[in-house]
Chain A
Amino acid sequence: MAVIVRIPTQLRELSGGAAEISAEGATVVDVLRALEVAHPGFAERLFDDSGELRRFVNVFVADEDIRFLEGVNTPVAPGATVSIVPAVAGG
């Protein structure tokens, strides 16, 4: 069940420069943990010491913020796009 993960500039050093990588997983947390397996270093950047997603990391599934869905337990359909977006700016 491969999904596409969009990698922001700040994390591309971990993906070998790739802006998109393929990963396996049925939920957001599965997909993000799979990134760590394929490209070590992702987990400590995305999750804090207690294992929670860092509060300035935004994750979107098919363009919807996962905080409007089921958080890191949001299901991810095969072929869907998961976007990791750094701290929103704006305002």
Chain B
Amino acid sequence: MAHVHGLRCRECGREYDVAPIFTCEWCFGPLEVAYDYDAIRAAVSREKIAAGPLSIWRYADLLPSDRNPAVDLGAGFTPLVRAERLAAELGLGEVWIKNDTVNPTNSFKDRVTSVALSKALEFGFKVAACASTGNLANSVAAHAAHAGMRSFVFIPANLEQGKIVTTAVYGGNVIAIDGNYDAVNRLCAELADTYPWAFVNVNVRTFYAEGSKTLAFETAEQLGWEAPDHVVVPIASGSLLTKIRKGFDELYKVGLLDREPEIRVSGAQAEGCSPVARAWLDGADTIKPVKPDTIAKSLAIGNPADGYFALDAVRQTGGGLAAVTDDEIVDAMKLLARTEGIFAETAGGVTIATLKRLAAEGIVRPDERVVAYVTGHGLKTLDAVEPTVGPTAVIPPTLDAFHDAFPPETIQE
């Protein structure tokens, strides 16, 4: 069960009762769920978690919803894959890929949606809604269908066709907006003020964001209840990175990790939308919003809500940030596929390209146990790699034709 005693402003510390609110009335800072960690410590154990469902809900004691049953398509408990060939190519030692491409709608967003809609039902909402760069659209449409909720999903009109189809198929309302994500987001803030809907990443965002902690919980459990030394996380709003760090800290706080984690946190952005990386590279205290222009559309948030907290996390832990080009993104998608058999979407390309950069710069080191978070499936962004891959040969169905294309002496056993 949830052990929540209220909500707290991350900026000024003011406290609020549990409600579908997301900003501090005083200073407009974002709210965060405040837990009773003593109660959680008394309630959890590694054994209880091991006996739980193979989904994010095995960590229900550390999540903010009491909805039973939860809105659950089976998000979470995705593979943590040891990436020896990738590590060798990058000159690193122990590298793991948290492969979140295999969630129910093929991105990590199923974690946050499952928590958000469970909480939304607890609050009595009947309509699910979101502003999305694509992955959340898929996830909200699917989970709303599963829960029998109506849905309104708002996306930028220039989204990849695949992500539009894989949202619309669930039968909810899909509204394409003539504008970028930040414009969509702003409209949704106004709609959330007007309609009694659960906008998962607006008025329910406080709860929604907690779902991302499960990526840290699973990583630790899959490493035998140990924390990694360094994590590399893509940044869109900055929430995922912030919550992964929080997740590891909570595990120690409630006694599930024996040693206090000392994790270096690094962030990944695309050059065409890199407000947080830019602030880090410039040593600036303010994050200046940008107008995104990148193939990594799922990370194309020019005005990142949790950008300051992500920047703080990187600075406090001695991590790094990189802003990688579209060409580096495509190369990294192919590198991960070629070395590890994992096909990531463009955001995963951003993460792996950043890992490569930071390894070359000596920020990610060979003596570290590194976990890179690959958060969405490559089939969602086929357009990105389609121009650069294809059949090795096109031949008639004869042995001679095959031998012409691949002379036997060139083929090894």
Contact = CB atoms under 8 A, between A and B. Distances in A.
Contacts of B193: 8-9
A36 to B, nearest CB: 16
A87 B11 CA distance: 11
Interface string A49-89: 00000111110100001011000000000000000011111
A16 interface: no
Contact of B304 (A9, A85, A86, A91): A91
B305 A90 contact: yes
Given A55-B308, A56-B29, A88 B22 contact: no
Interface residues of A, number: 20
Contacts of A60: 186
A8 B327 CA distance: 41
B292 to A, nearest CB: 13
B306 A91 contact: yes
B201 A91 contact: yes
Nearest to B179: A63
Interface in B229-258: 236-240
Given A55-B286, A56-B30, A65-B303, A87 B23 contact: yes
Contacts of B3: none
B27 A54 contact: yes
A90 B289 contact: no
B141 interface: no
B11 A56 contact: yes
* Interface bin, chain B: 35 or more
A65 B186 CA distance: 11
Contact of A91 (B11, B28, B189, B305): B305
A39 interface: no
Interface string B160-200: 00000000000000000000011001101100010000010
Nearest to A10: B25
A87 B301 contact: no
Contacts of B199: 89
Interface in A8-57: 8-10, 45, 54-57
Given A54-B28, A56-B11, A56-B29, A90 B237 contact: yes
Nearest to A45: B26
A86 B301 contact: no
Contacts of A57: 28
A87 B29 contact: yes
A88 B303 contact: yes
B92 interface: no
Nearest to B285: A55
Contacts of B30: 56, 87, 89
Contacts of A85: 186, 189
A87 B28 contact: yes
A89 B189 contact: yes
Given A56-B23, A91-B238, A86 B289 contact: no
Nearest to A19: B193
Given A89-B30, A91-B239, 6 more contacts: A56-B23, A68-B291, A88-B305, A90-B201, A90-B202, A91-B301
Interface of A: 8-10, 45, 54-58, 60, 65, 67-68, 85-91
Interface of B: 11, 22-30, 131, 181-182, 185-186, 188-189, 193, 199, 201-203, 205, 236-240, 286, 288-289, 291, 301, 303-306, 308
25 contacts: A8-B193, A10-B23, A10-B28, A45-B27, A55-B308, A56-B27, A56-B30, A67-B288, A67-B289, A85-B186, A86-B23, A86-B28, A87-B23, A87-B28, A88-B185, A88-B305, A89-B185, A89-B188, A89-B201, A89-B205, A90-B181, A90-B201, A90-B305, A91-B240, A91-B306
Which 7 A-B pairs have CB atoms at the shortest separation, nearest pair first? Answer: A91-B237, A90-B185, A56-B28, A86-B23, A89-B202, A86-B28, A89-B205
